[in-house]
Structure 1
């Protein structure tokens, strides 16, 4: 009887863990982007159009300083993803247009989400510099 009770408890605990993780995965990967969401994923082409349309837009490279020095998009500001912390707000207005990129898109998505939670309202993630078909510089 004890073994049966223990087995039932383990099964219930396992089911609860599965439900928790599947709910988290569903929320983070399939959440639709809507007008109320301050982080949007855009293409490199759209990012270039936005930069041309708004010269005050902030182009944020969230790679390391070494990666940035090896080549970056002209006009980009290097601010590594690891340095974006809620207790250290960025020196940008909360409603400034911020376009974020990294190498492949993982860190830029993470940085954009952090910025959203810090209260920045106009953040767009265009993924990685490896998908940027335009000019880059080492200046």
Structure 2
């Protein structure tokens, strides 16, 4: 009986070790971002290409004013996510193309969804400034 118990313990330990090392050896696949049918999700590269193509695009930084002042993408307008509300009219046309970003991507996704719910049909989220490999400014 003791040998049977020892054999079961060795098998369980071996299976756990295999699973652990298999999980560690799997390449880190990018985690897909949650997408919504309400707004488009872009990469930083796609957003940069759109901004380079069309200077009428509204670049919306939805971080706090303090975060914005520490550094932002040139041409961005600061409008904190918590200030985006259906109760407050925004100075943008409903058909304007709006590219939204924040620090890491959470607030920009929320803001893009709020904008879409408010009728802004061309709102797109491109995540966070931490993933922006291009120029930033403090001006």
After TM superposition, is the score higher than 0.5? yes
Task: Provide closer, same or farther for how the CA distance between residues 30 and 63 of structure 1 changes in structure 2, counting only shifts above 3 A.
Answer: closer
Aligned runs of 1:46-125 on 2, under 5 Å?
A: 46-125=46-125
- Displacement of 1:32: 6.1
Gaps of 5+ in 2: 1-31
Contact kept, 8 Å, 1:38 with 1:122, in 2: the verdict is no
Task: Provide closer, same or farther for how the CA distance between residues 100 and 32 of structure 1 changes in structure 2, counting only shifts above 3 A.
Answer: closer
Task: Provide closer, same or farther for how the CA distance between residues 105 and 45 of structure 1 changes in structure 2, counting only shifts above 3 A.
Answer: same
Aligned length: 108
Q: Within 2, Cα distance between the matches of 1:64 and 1:110?
A: 14
Aligned structure 1 segments of 4 or more residues deviating by more than 2 angstroms: 29-33
Q: Within 2, Cα distance between the matches of 1:102 and 1:31?
A: 16
- Displacement of 1:89: 1.9
The structure having more radius of gyration, on CA atoms, is 2
| Superposed CA offset, 1:43-64 (max 9, x none) | 0000000001110000000000
Compute the RMSD of aligned alpha carbons.
1.7
SS at match of 2:60: strand
SS at match of 1:126: strand
SS at match of 1:59: strand
Task: Provide closer, same or farther for how the CA distance between residues 100 and 30 of structure 1 changes in structure 2, counting only shifts above 3 A.
Answer: closer
TM-score, normalised via structure 2 length:
0.74
SS at match of 1:55: coil
Task: Provide closer, same or farther for how the CA distance between residues 66 and 120 of structure 1 changes in structure 2, counting only shifts above 3 A.
Answer: same
